[in-house]
Structure 1
Amino acid sequence: MSHADPDLEPVKREHPPGTIRIGQIAGIDVLVTSTWFLIAGLVAVALAPRVEQVQPGLGAGKYLAGLAFAVVLYLSVLAHEAAHALMARHYGHSVSSITLHFLGGVTAIEGESRRPREEFWIAVVGPLMSLAISFVAFLLTLLTPGGLIGMTVDGLFVANLVVGVLNLVPGLPLDGGRVLKSAVWAAAGNPHRGTIAAAWGGRIAAILALFLPLLYEPFFHIEPQLFDFLMAGIVALFLWTGASAALSSANLRRRLPSLVARNLARRTLAVPEDLPLAEAVRRAQEAEAGSIVTVTHDGQPTGIVNEAALRSTPEERRPWVATSSVARTMEPGLALPATIYGEELILAVSRRPAHEYLLLEDDGTIFGVLTTADVDRAFRESRH
């Protein structure tokens, strides 16, 4: 392309507080949180005795070797998340960032999957990437010598095997939860039922994770330490919180289909832009219209009268001002199809915040005006 579309120009994204941008993958920002540095330091300290064992005489360098292992390990986590991101891109989703944190990583994918197959592949490709890295590392263990290289390859083999297998546990917020969601969705024909099933799977997994250290001694003849119970508690809290958030989201999304723009629209009166405001209000009252839209002489909508601006205009001034003076100019995103509903409606409103939106029929004729106050009211009433 020889000319850049201003709407497609890359924008400088605001990163969440406590994150640092370290680069990009295929245009996707890669961020790390401050907690990552904490866990990297802990890994360096924890591995120092092992480094000293396989490579004696490094002195303080053993901590640098441990830190290097943490970086390599998180590069494999980054590969796991990049697989999610690129598969999401393949299905047409926008991906804003990949964030590495102390428990692994998260990919910010905008929008929801449209089909079970899409949900399945976006979810499963991450664990498959981890298992693939584990397999390659296993093959390398047969070729690499001992020392630090051998320790690193062994660590990658074990860590990615664990990450790959655990992420296939069928419970949200794990990838396996999304795989379960896709299966229930395909069977029941309802994504919300899939989310609820996977969320409860996540809650069950959280309870099992909490009591996992108790199985160390009878099954592995290893006495659990306080650190093991602490980590189990952190993982259980992570799973329970994520599963509970998924349940809340499913309940929220279940109510969204009741938000139909056509049903919420106010009757609208179209008036010429230069019509005195007092006359426009009189005509609207006579027609029992709840909103006013200004149009050109050939009927093209140019603005939506703002209620607040109308109320703030004294009645004695209204005969002398044009209706267009209290109307918000029609901008991209303020005109929506009258057929829009549910989550698509919420996304459209959130992308272009405004008090009023013009609803148009498929042939471009004006159907009515939708206000965010009416949408909010309908959503609150849908809870009961």
Structure 2
Amino acid sequence: MTGPADQRDPLPAGTVRLGQIAGIDVVVQASWLLVALLIAVGMAPRISSVAPGLGWLTYVAGLAFAVLLYLSVLLHEASHAIAARHYGLTVRSISIHFLGGATQLESEAPSARAELVIAVVGPLTSLAVGGVSLGLAFVTPDGLVGLAVDALATTNLVVGVLNLVPGLPLDGGRVLRAVLWGLGTGPDRATVVAAWGGRVAAVLVVAWPVFVVIVLQRPPDVVDMVVAVMIGVFLWGGATASLVHARMRRRLPGLAARPLARRLLEVPEDLPVSEAVRRAQDARAGGIATIATTGGVVGLVDERALQAMPVERRPWVPTSSLARAVEPGMRISADLVGEDLIRAITEHPASEYLLLDPDGEVFGVLSVADVERAFAAVRQGRPAPEEETGR
């Protein structure tokens, strides 16, 4: 999601915004610099062999290789982002980090087909870049350019193939999820299967040093072990997060707006706060709304502001002074449940929302504090608490 600089979400510490691709912010994490330096050092012997005598410029060339390789990663992520845009999804940003890149979406794909396309275009882009580079390698003269083309071909082919491994959080895990979803398995169950695939992949990656000893018959070096552990931890953590998310989604239908609604008292805008509170207590109402002289709710009293006001001041202050104007995003359906409810209150942050019946009549008021308590209960597998509902 893009917009003027002052409307953007603040960047996490250690993150820099580089620019935009198709209106999508591109950010890079500071951890990338560490990997770039490691690539520069690792490439130095090969650079020296094809271009001896460079001296300290050998490491500059190595950094240039690192930038070139991560530009291909950026192309991989941009293909995800553009495909997501095609299916109407909002893309928050493309980020580059030490293990590659990530495309942050506001929501999940609306269908199995969309999920499949968005997931598979990334690896296909890497394979295409690798294939073109491999073809150029046969006609590129030896030297730094030849070395760069060869490294680009090898890296992208490896990235493309590995990303098709059927386990989350890899693209191949999303492809597997989409296929299972399309075959009739529910999206949550498909996520669980793909997440377990990611856990299996994590175990196999961590076992790579053992493979080196048994099959390749050489002792694993420090790089083998460090890289295996880093990638294994990344895969296991991503797969576990997907499992937790899938289990929570199964419980989200228990989170509904209507049972959480508080009874709403409507009062004139100029009514003193003390009188509005007295009437609300008599009516056993959990929320107070102000109405215009022409009728209709125009404001919702902020519960926190009401609690902060000293009792002795309440007889002299009009209720409208504590009310927030009801904007369009604060009028939501009383029939919202699960992710639709969470999305509605996330897109338009407020402390209270006006709940409406399908016919447009006011049903009650929804407090975000009540939603947060219910959401916490749902995450723990307990029934969501209910308020005294409606009217």
Q: Quick one: distance in 2 between partners of 1:146 and 1:332?
A: 64
Q: Which residue of 2 is the match for residue 268 of structure 1?
A: 264
Q: Which residue of 1 is the match for residue 167 of structure 2?
A: 171
TM-score of the pair, normalised by structure 2: 0.90
Structure 1 position 333, deviation (Å): 2.5
Q: Quick one: distance in 1 between partners of 2:306 and 2:98?
A: 53
Q: CA-to-partner distance for each residue in 1:268-297, whole Å, 9 max, x for gaps? A: 222222334444344434433322211123
- Using the aligned pairs only, state the percent identity: 55
> Which SS does the other structure have where 2:183 is aligned?
helix
1:373 is aligned to 2:369: yes
Q: CA-to-partner distance for each residue in 1:114-134, whole Å, 9 max, x for gaps? A: 211111111111001000001
Q: CA-to-partner distance for each residue in 1:5-34, whole Å, 9 max, x for gaps? A: xx9766344222111222221122222222
Q: Quick one: distance in 2 between partners of 1:381 and 1:109?
A: 26
Q: Quick one: distance in 2 between partners of 1:82 and 1:70?
A: 18
Q: Which residue of 2 is the match for residue 57 of structure 1?
A: 53
From 88, 91, 94, give the equivalent of 1:95.
91
Q: Quick one: distance in 2 between partners of 1:353 and 1:68?
A: 44
Q: CA-to-partner distance for each residue in 1:131-152, whole Å, 9 max, x for gaps? A: 0001101111121121111111
Q: Which residue of 1 is the match for residue 354 of structure 2?
A: 358
Structure 1 residues 134 and 308: alpha-carbon distance in aligned structure 2, compared to 1, 3 A threshold: closer
Structure 1 position 81, deviation (Å): 0.7
Q: CA-to-partner distance for each residue in 1:300-350, whole Å, 9 max, x for gaps? A: 211112334444556665555433233222234322122222112222323
Q: Which amino acid aligns with 1:273?
A: E
Native 8 Å contact 1:255 1:379 kept in 2: no
Structure 1 position 103, deviation (Å): 1.0
Larger mean Cα displacement after TM superposition, 340-349 or 278-287: 278-287
Structure 1 residues 46 and 304: alpha-carbon distance in aligned structure 2, compared to 1, 3 A threshold: same
Q: Which amino acid aligns with 2:106?
A: E
Q: Quick one: distance in 2 between partners of 1:95 and 1:186?
A: 24
Q: Quick one: distance in 2 between partners of 1:206 and 1:253?
A: 24
Q: Quick one: distance in 1 between partners of 2:355 and 2:84?
A: 31
Q: Which residue of 2 is the match for residue 210 of structure 1?
A: 206
Structure 1 residues 9 and 235: alpha-carbon distance in aligned structure 2, compared to 1, 3 A threshold: closer
Q: Which amino acid aligns with 2:242?
A: A
Structure 1 residues 336 and 36: alpha-carbon distance in aligned structure 2, compared to 1, 3 A threshold: same
Q: Which residue of 2 is the match for residue 129 of structure 1?
A: 125
1:326 is aligned to 2:347: no
Structure 1 position 36, deviation (Å): 1.3
Larger mean Cα displacement after TM superposition, 248-257 or 111-120: 248-257
Structure 1 residues 242 and 30: alpha-carbon distance in aligned structure 2, compared to 1, 3 A threshold: same
1:343 is aligned to 2:332: no
Q: Quick one: distance in 1 between partners of 2:216 and 2:168?
A: 28
Q: Which residue of 2 is the match for residue 3 of structure 1?
A: none
> Which SS does the other structure have where 1:333 is aligned?
helix
Q: Which residue of 1 is the match for residue 22 of structure 2?
A: 26
Q: Which residue of 2 is the match for residue 307 of structure 1?
A: 303
Structure 1 position 249, deviation (Å): 1.8
Q: Quick one: distance in 2 between partners of 1:257 and 1:312?
A: 35
Larger mean Cα displacement after TM superposition, 72-81 or 347-356: 347-356
Structure 1 residues 58 and 117: alpha-carbon distance in aligned structure 2, compared to 1, 3 A threshold: same
Give the CA RMSD over aligned residues: 2.2
Native 8 Å contact 1:358 1:368 kept in 2: yes
1:85-234 map, 5 Å = 85-234=81-230
Q: Which amino acid aligns with 1:185?
A: W
Q: Which amino acid aligns with 1:181?
A: R
Q: How many residues align?
A: 378
Q: Quick one: distance in 1 between partners of 2:333 and 2:60?
A: 59
> Which SS does the other structure have where 1:64 is aligned?
helix
Q: Which residue of 1 is the match for residue 67 of structure 2?
A: 71
1:43 is aligned to 2:23: no
Q: Quick one: distance in 2 between partners of 1:17 and 1:189?
A: 40
Structure 1 residues 275 and 212: alpha-carbon distance in aligned structure 2, compared to 1, 3 A threshold: same
Unaligned runs of 5+ in 2: 383-391
Q: Which residue of 1 is the match for residue 255 of structure 2?
A: 259
